Amino acid sequence: MTTNGEVAARPRGVRLARVSLRSAVERWSLAIAFIGAFAFFAVARPNVFLTWANARGILDDASVLSVLAVGVTVVLVIGEFDLSVGFVVGLAAAAGVAAMSFRGWPWWVAVLMALGAGCVAGLANGVSVAILRIPSFIGTLAIGSIAAAIELAVTKTSIFEGVSPRYVEIATTTIFGMPLRPIIAAGVALLFLVILRTTVYGRHASSIGDNPAAARLAGVPATRVRVIAFMLTGLTAGLAGVFVTSSAGSYYPGLGTGYLLPAYAAAFLGLSLGGGLRFNVLGSYLGVLLLGMVTTGLTVMNQPSWIAALVQGLVLIAAVAGVAVRRRGALGR
């Protein structure tokens, strides 16, 4: 009997160890990929890639996208989509620059105008989804189209400058050698991390994302939580608009296009971080840095730019497929 027990116990122990190692690898796969990619480029091109200037460049380039990825994480947490972010970046950029070059208002009013435009667009998204009950996929697309229309009406598809020098300093100022934009982006990520993890609002938001019907029946103020989520996302799109125009020193048409897909790609990469299989701010932030690092690294290795897009697509498919498999496993148990 004792022998039987021992025989039975041993493989079980081995199995447990293997399972926990596997789950640890799964849990940290994003971080492992991040370190792996870093090590690869560091070894391949040490004298170009492993430089302070390169690290600074990657972080500075990633600042717009990391703000947006962190922003869309909030709507993903409540189980919705915001497909208007790219358009709202453009609208906010136009609002900010127009305030300075049409009206001659100071730089800080321009920033407030851009953030305000993002907030209002977020409010419109929130109302259409939470109150008018339009599925977010189509509702935010419609609001995005309206935002693009307003942007065009204001700017008439022309480039305009007349940006105040102080406004440009947002992009050029450095603190201890680090540009201001990635510092603000990291601060926003930290702020959103705190909101989602430690506040009553964050608890309510994740309960809605987990089980909307149960959240409503448990007395969660679902409408308010949803509207605020879209406003927070809109706010980050407004900030992204400020980042883009302060760096360019001007407004140019179509500056918001091209951000939507990589922002969601980063958030979905971030889904694989941690054991909960949930969208999380840290994961989205790391996802942006990983994508940025891969792009820069491949450029440094003199690969054509299509290789970077291809690798990004493959990484995203691998990450999301991995998550889907794990989720099926979790349900099977």
At its nearest, how many Å lie between other proteins and the CB of residue 186? 21
* The binder of other proteins chosen from 277, 307, 308, 318 (CB under 8 A): 277
Part of the chain binding other proteins (CB under 8 A), chosen from 115-123, 173-181, 210-218, 282-290: 210-218
Q: Is there binding between residue 63 and other proteins (CB under 8 A)?
A: no
Tokens 């690290």 belong to residue: 55
Part of the chain binding other proteins (CB under 8 A), chosen from 99-107, 113-121, 135-143, 207-215: 207-215
* The binder of other proteins chosen from 278, 300, 301, 323 (CB under 8 A): 278
The site string for other proteins over 126-165 (x = CB under 8 A, - otherwise) reads: ----------------------------------------
Q: Burial of 307 by CB count in 10 Å (0-12 exposed, 13-18 middle, 19+ buried)?
A: middle
Closest by alpha carbon to 161, among 239, 102, 117, 89?
A: 102
The site string for other proteins over 222-241 (x = CB under 8 A, - otherwise) reads: x-------------------
The DSSP line for 49-103 is: HSSHHHHHHHHHHHHHHHHHHHHHHHHHHTT---TTHHHHHHHHHHHHHHHHHTT
Q: Is there binding between residue 326 and other proteins (CB under 8 A)?
A: no
**What distance in Å separates the CA atoms of residue 316 and residue 159, rounded to the nearest whole number?**
34
Q: Is there binding between residue 246 and other proteins (CB under 8 A)?
A: no
Closest by alpha carbon to 126, among 171, 168, 74?
A: 74
Angle between helices 165-172 and 107-126 (to 10 degrees): 70
At its nearest, how many Å lie between other proteins and the CB of residue 230? 18
Rg (the chain; Cα; Å): 22
Number of shown-chain residues binding other proteins (CB under 8 A)? 24
CB of 174 or CB of 211, closer to other proteins? 211
Q: Is there binding between residue 276 and other proteins (CB under 8 A)?
A: yes
- How many CA atoms are closer than 13 Å to the CA of 120, on its beta-carbon side? 12
| Interaction residues for other proteins, span 161-200 (CB under 8 A) | 198-200
Asked if 317 and 330 count as a contact pair (C-beta separation under 8 A), the reply is no
* The binder of other proteins chosen from 31, 178, 203, 308 (CB under 8 A): 203
Part of the chain binding other proteins (CB under 8 A), chosen from 2-10, 144-152, 202-210, 285-293: 202-210
- CA of residue 126 relative to chain centroid, distance: 18
Interface residues toward other proteins, by CB under 8 A: 198-201, 203-204, 206-207, 210-211, 213-222, 276-278, 330
